[in-house]
Structure 1
Amino acid sequence: MAAPRITTPVTTNTSTPFHHSLSSPSFSTSPFPKTPHPFPTITIFTPHKLHRNTNFSTSVSGIWDAITGGADSSRQALIAIRRGMVLFRQGDVAGSVAEFDNAMKLDPRQKAYLWQRGLSLYYLDRFEEGAEQFRIDVAQNPNDTEESIWCFLCEAQLYGAAEARKKFLEVGRDPRPVMRDAYNMFRDGGDPEKLVDAFSKGRESEYFYASLYAGLYYESQNEADKAKVHIVASCKSPYGQRSDDYMASLAKVHCLCRNWEL
C-alpha cells in the first residue's frame, strides 16, 4: 500500500526495504512515525510506492485544476489525507475517514488511490464501502497484493470466506516472499501457522507481516482467539514495536478496536 495520489505527483520510492505496498503517493520518506499513547510518536508520512497516475496527462491535469480551483485544491486534499493518516495512527478511526472523505471532496481524483480510507472503513465495519474502495484501487494498480487481500477481508465479513474467495481479486506477483505466500493463503485457503513458521526466523519485517496476516486470516474465518494470538504477536515483534510502517500502526489499531491488551 502506498499513500494517496495526485494527478501529477512526484514519484518516490524512498520507503524502507519492507514497506507496506498498497499504492498511492507519500508525504515523507520514513514510513509511519510512531504516535503518542497508545502508540509511540507521530511524524507525518505517506506510505510506500508513489505511483504516477498515467491516466492524466499534464495538459488534462491543468484543465482539471482550472475547473476545480487548481493546485490549491490538490494541496488541501493532501493535507487532509495527512491528517487522516495521523488520526488513524492515534486510534481515531472515524476521524480519519472524515478527513479522507474531505480529501475526496477537495480533489475527487484521490478516490482511486485512497487505500488508507479502505483500511479505516474496515475497522468501522463499513465493509461494503471498504471493498469498493479496494476494488477501485486495484483497478488502478493491478499488482497490489495487499489491496486484494483487504478486499477479501471486507467481503468475507459480508458474505463469508467461501463466497468472498469466489470474488477474489487476482493481482500480479508480489516481490516479497511473505506477501506471495500470504496472498496464496487467502486466495486458495491455507494454514496461517505454516505462514508464520516459514518466516519466524527470517527478517523482522517478514515475521511481522506473516503474524499480522495470519491473524487477519483467522479473523476472516471468525476465529477471534487465534486472530488475537497472532496480531498481538505482530505488535510485540521488534518490527511492530520499532517500525514507522503504517501497517505496524494498523496492528495496534486492530488491537485497540478489538479491546485486546498489548
Structure 2
Amino acid sequence: MAVPWSLISNTSTPDSHHSLFSSPSFSTSTFPKNHHGSHLFPTTTTRNFPKISTSVSGIWDAVTGGGGSSREALIAIRRGMVLFRQGDVSGSVSEFDNAIKLDPRQKAYLWQRGLSLYYLDRFEEGAEQFRIDVAQNPNDTEESIWCFLCEAQLYGASEARRRFLQVGRDPRPVMREAYNMFKDGGDPEKLVAAFSQGREGENFYASLYAGLYYESQNEADKAKVHLVASCQSPYGLRSDDYMASLAKVHCVCRKWEL
C-alpha cells in the first residue's frame, strides 16, 4: 500500500484514506506552463513546504528500501500537488514525472498524476495511471471511476463501461452510489438528491461526481451546474481536500465562472 499522506506532509490532512477521496477535459490546460505562474487559488506556495522529518524519511526508506532519491521523490510529489491546487496542471505533471524518475516505484501510487493528465487531454496516459493504481489497490472506487472518465473520452461511454474496472465495496455510501452509477449507468440527479441533506462532504462528492458523469456523456451544460455547485458548497469552499481543489481546477479549465 502507499505511504499515507499524513506521513508525507505536516499540513492538515483530509479525514479519509489515501485514495482520491482523501486527497481527488476537452481542452488543454489554460494554466501557466511554468512552475511560477500566477496562482489561481490562495493555497500554500512552493516556498512554504515543511521539511520531511528524519523519522518520516526513515519510515519511507524502511517501506521502500530506498534512500535519498525516495525522499526527493516525495518532495516532488508534494510540489506537484501544490502546483495542481494552484492551477498549474502542466507543472504538476512535470513534478510527478520527476518523482517517477527519482523513484520508479512511485508510479504505482500516483493517482494525482492521473488527475492532472485528464485535464491535459492525455486520456490514454491517465487511464494507464489509474489502471496501475487499481492493480495496487483493488478497492479504490475513485480510481476506477477516473479510469472510466479517461476512457470515455477515448472510446465513448459505452466502451468505457465495458472496460470498467471492478473494485471492492466502498465503505462510503456516496461513493458506492457513484460507483454503481458509472458502472451500470444511472441518473446523476438521483445521486445528488439522495445526499442533498447528508453531511457536507457527501453533498460535495455527490455534486462532483454527478457533474463528472454528465461530462462523460458530453452534456456540458448539466456538468457545469453540478461542478459549480460542488465548488460553491460549504465543503467545497472550506475543505483542504485535494478534490475540492480539483473541482475548482475543473471549472477554470472549462472557463466556468464560480
Q: TM-score band (shorter)?
A: 0.7 to 0.9
Residue ranges of structure 1 left out of the alignment (5+ in a row)? 46-55, 66-70
Shift of 1:18: 5.2
> Does 2:143 match 1:141?
no
CA displacement, residues 219-241 of structure 1 (integer Å, 9 cap, x when unaligned):
00000000000000000000000
Q: Give the whole-Å Cα distance in 1 for the aligned partners of 2:187 and 2:17.
A: 24
Name the structure, 1 or 2, with higher relative contact order (CA <8 Å, separation 6+).
2
Please show how residues 215-230 of structure 1 align to structure 2 within 5 Å. 215-230=211-226
| Residues 38/260 of structure 1: CA separation in 2 closer, same or farther (3 Å cut) | same
Q: Give the whole-Å Cα distance in 1 for the aligned partners of 2:133 and 2:19.
A: 12
| Residues 103/194 of structure 1: CA separation in 2 closer, same or farther (3 Å cut) | same
2:20 counterpart SS class? coil
Aligned AA for 1:240? G
> Does 2:101 match 1:105?
yes
Query: Partner of 1:211 in structure 2?
Result: 207
Q: Is the 8 A contact 2:81 2:92 kept in 1?
A: yes
2:232 aligns with one of 218, 232, 236: 236
1:143 counterpart SS class? coil
Q: Is the 8 A contact 1:185 1:192 kept in 2?
A: yes
Q: Give the whole-Å Cα distance in 2 for the aligned partners of 1:41 and 1:134.
A: 26
Aligned AA for 1:41? T
Aligned length: 230
Q: Is the 8 A contact 2:201 2:235 kept in 1?
A: yes
2:161 aligns with one of 155, 162, 165: 165
Q: Give the whole-Å Cα distance in 2 for the aligned partners of 1:142 and 1:18.
A: 17
Query: Partner of 1:38 in structure 2?
Result: 40
Shift of 1:42: 2.1
1:202 counterpart SS class? coil
Residue ranges of structure 2 left out of the alignment (5+ in a row)? 25-37, 51-59
Query: Partner of 1:53 in structure 2?
Result: none
Q: Give the whole-Å Cα distance in 1 for the aligned partners of 2:208 and 2:254.
A: 14
Q: Give the whole-Å Cα distance in 2 for the aligned partners of 1:11 and 1:254.
A: 25
> Does 2:244 match 1:258?
no
Query: Partner of 1:83 in structure 2?
Result: 79
Shift of 1:39: 2.0
Q: Is the 8 A contact 2:13 2:240 kept in 1?
A: no
| Residues 163/238 of structure 1: CA separation in 2 closer, same or farther (3 Å cut) | same
1:21 aligns with one of 19, 22, 33: 19
Indicate the structure with greater helix content: 2
Aligned AA for 1:21? S
Q: Give the whole-Å Cα distance in 2 for the aligned partners of 1:261 and 1:98.
A: 27
CA displacement, residues 234-258 of structure 1 (integer Å, 9 cap, x when unaligned):
0000000000000000000000111
Q: Is the 8 A contact 2:42 2:86 kept in 1?
A: no
Q: Give the whole-Å Cα distance in 1 for the aligned partners of 2:224 and 2:157.
A: 18
CA displacement, residues 64-85 of structure 1 (integer Å, 9 cap, x when unaligned):
x4xxxxx110011011101100
Identical positions, percent: 80
1:248 counterpart SS class? helix
Query: Partner of 1:155 in structure 2?
Result: 151
2:176 counterpart SS class? helix
Q: Give the whole-Å Cα distance in 1 for the aligned partners of 2:15 and 2:61.
A: 30
Shift of 1:21: 2.8
Q: Is the 8 A contact 1:20 1:247 kept in 2?
A: no
Aligned AA for 1:40? P
Shift of 1:17: 3.7
Q: Give the whole-Å Cα distance in 1 for the aligned partners of 2:130 and 2:216.
A: 16
Q: Is the 8 A contact 1:239 1:248 kept in 2?
A: yes
